[in-house]
Structure 1
Amino acid sequence: MQIQVFMGNSGDEKTSKLQSVKDRLDFIGESAPIIQAGAYGEDGLLEILEVRAAGGQREILVDDCSKQQILRVLKWQLCVEHEPNFEEVVIRLARKD
């Protein structure tokens, strides 16, 4: 599993980075809707990430993440790093301001 964190001062800039990744994935025929982290607590975000990865999604995009959500995702990565369902998963997190 690979985790990428987009940080910056502008929510628009972060969202545009995620949007460009989404546009590229849409172009090659892979669906990658952007998850709005603000709709989930830390545990809820981990659950949706697990469901998406277990369902076969290999690129997961998450916008508006809090610092705590990002830290929890990074800790979770260590727990699942040897599980085959997560080997080729790339999660891109955009931190909220």
Structure 2
Amino acid sequence: MQIQVFLGNAGDGNTSKLQETFDHLTVLGKSQPLIQAGAYGEEGLLQILEVRAAGGQREILVEDCSRQQILRVLEWQSCTEDDPDYADLVIHLARRD
């Protein structure tokens, strides 16, 4: 699993300019929407990431992440580093200030 953390536009956690980059990501011909981290607590975000990965999505973009959410995702990454189900997963986390 690879995790990338970056600031959104002006540090606000929004990545609308990057949406075009991820428009090519499709599963069964359908674009996968961005995950809005503000709608989830730390554990809820981990659960939705697991659901997306289990559903076959290999690249995921998450907007509006808090520092705590990012820390939990990084912790989760360390716990799953030997799991082949997550080996080719790439998660992009846009941090809000």
Q: Give the structure-1-normalised TM-score.
A: 0.84
Gap change, CA 1:83 and 1:16, over 3 Å in 2: same
Encode CA deviations 1:72-91: one digit per residue, 9 max, x unaligned: 00010000111111011000
Q: CA RMSD in A?
A: 1.9
Find the counterpart in structure 2 of residue 16 from structure 1.
17
Please state whether the residue corresponding to 2:82 is helix, strand or coil: coil
Letter of the 1:50 counterpart: E
Aligned length: 94
Deviation at 1:10, TM superposition (A): 3.6
**Is the Cα contact below 8 Å between 2:34 and 2:61 reproduced in 1?**
yes
Per-residue deviation, 1:55: 1.2
Shift of residue 30, structure 1, vs aligned partner: 6.5
CA distance in 2, matches of 1:91, 1:31: 16
Equivalent position of 1:57 in the other structure: 57
Match of 2:7 in 1: 7
Query: CA 1:61–1:74 in 2, change beyond 3 Å: closer, same or farther?
Result: same
Give the partner amino acid of 2:17: S
- Contact in 2 for aligned 1:15/1:94 (Cα 8 Å): no
Structure 1 residues not aligned, in runs of 5+: none
Which one has the bigger helix percentage?
1
Identify the residue that residue 71 of structure 1 maps to in structure 2: 71
Look up the equivalent residue of 1:91 and give its one-letter code: I
List structure 1 segments (4+ residues) > 6 angstroms apart after TM superposition.
none
Q: Any unmatched runs of 5+ in structure 2?
A: none
Q: Report the CA distance between 1:15 and its aligned residue.
A: 3.4
1:21 deviates by 2.5
